[in-house]
Structure formats: structure tokens, C-alpha cells
Chain A
Amino acid sequence: QQQVKQSPQSLIVQKGGISIINCAYENTAFDYFPWYQQFPGKGPALLIAIRPDVSEKKEGRFTISFNKSAKQFSLHIMDSQPGDSATYFCAASKRGSTLGRLYFGRGTQLTVWP
């Protein structure tokens, strides 16, 4: 059973546009929601993360929006650049469970056209 559902599977955006990737979860015990970025030939790396006590977190052009009541969170990439072309994974984990256990979405392949 997929613990975290991610959409879309692929996304094509023009340079300068906004990229939006959505994730949803069911388990209310989740309390940490990171996004990982993966470039071709590399392992995923932490991009940005949020805890449910805030509704938004922004780091540069990357913003996570979090809706606790809807059990949804999303990644927004403003002014998307060709260098942002990568696969993005959302994830979730729950405090108190096995340390470090992350449940990943299936990933979104983002292509930004120049």
C-alpha cells in the first residue's frame, strides 16, 4: 500500500514558469515531510522539509505548502530553470517509529525547457 501518493509522474515547464508537484498521505502519525531531488546518475539529496506545525516553508525559489486538514503537501518551484530538471520525491516519516524510516512517493520527473 502506497503510504505517500505523488503526482504528476512527469512535468514539463518552460523556463521562468512555476513547477508544482503534489503529494497526499493518509497516516496522521506522519510529522515530517521532506522533498528529495535526484539528478541523473546521482543519489537523491534532501532539498527542503517541513513539519506540520507550519503551513509553508520557503527556501530560495523552493516552497513547501502544507495542508494538515487535507493531508496534502506540495512543492512549488518558482522561476523554474533548466538546472532544476531532475526527479523529485516527496516523503513522510513519523516521530517515535524506527528512526529514519522514510516513506517515499513514486517521484516526478521535471523537465524545464530553456
Chain B
Amino acid sequence: EAQVTQNPRYLITVTGKKLTVTCSQNMNHEYMSWYRQDPGLGLRQIYYSMNVEVTDKGDVPEGYKVSRKEKRNFPLILESPSPNQTSLYFCASTRGVEQFFGPGTRLTVL
């Protein structure tokens, strides 16, 4: 089954404790993105990647890092999480102009 998977689905952590949210797709897509979704603000792009080793900032990149060492994986790294990064995070991969979203990761930073 074609899909985008994210782990973990839920995470509660404390300020400053580094964390990684994994994202994997099995559709051989080159373009992948990370979004955060906040009430009233919609979906805002954090980072995107056009292919292996090619990444760039989206609209809200501050406080986040990404890497793309393999085509299928695109992890999101929060090296020193802060409470304002409490949000719902989505990974997406793209075929043409259609984006396929993962199930989301709900992150709470205390």
C-alpha cells in the first residue's frame, strides 16, 4: 500500500530535550515536505526536500532541522524544543502536484 508513515504519532517532551520525528514514504517520490498545523493558522511549511541531499527552508524553519540521506526518509529534528513548537506535524511526499500526507505527529513541549 502506498503510504507516508510518521513516528511517533504522539510525543510529550520537555524544553531543550532533542527529538527526532521520522517520516518515510514507499512511493519513490523525490519531493518531500514537513508542515506544522496550528488552530487558525492552517498548514505552514517548515522545510522541503527536492531530492537526496537537497533541502531548503519553507515558511517557518526556525528551530528545526532536516536531513535527506535516503530518498524514502525525511526526518524532522528539533535540537532544543521550546513550548512554541507544540503543534501537529505532518510529513508529505509529492507526485506531480498532488501531496500525500502522513497521519500526523502531535507534539507537546512542556
Identify the A interface with B (CB < 8 A).
6, 9, 32, 34, 36, 41-46, 49, 89, 93, 98-102, 104-107
Inter-chain contacts of A100 with B (CB < 8 A): 31, 33, 48, 94, 96-97, 99
Shortest distance in angstroms between B3's beta carbon and chain A's nearest beta carbon? Answer: 10
What's the dominant secondary structure at chain A's contact region?
Answer: loop
Q: Does B104 contact A (CB under 8 A)?
A: yes
Are A104 and B42 in contact, CB atoms less than 8 angstroms apart? yes
Inter-chain contacts of B45 with A (CB < 8 A): 101-102
Identify the B interface with A (CB < 8 A).
4, 30-31, 33, 40-45, 48, 50, 56, 90, 92, 94, 96-104
Contact pick for B43, options A9, A101, A104, CB 8 Å: A104
Known: A42-B103, A43-B90, A43-B103. A93 touches B42 (CB 8 A): no
What's the dominant secondary structure at chain B's contact region?
Answer: strand
Are A89 and B43 in contact, CB atoms less than 8 angstroms apart? yes
Known: A93-B97, A99-B94. A44 touches B43 (CB 8 A): yes
Inter-chain contacts of B42 with A (CB < 8 A): 6, 89, 104-107
Contact pick for A42, options B41, B50, B104, CB 8 Å: B104
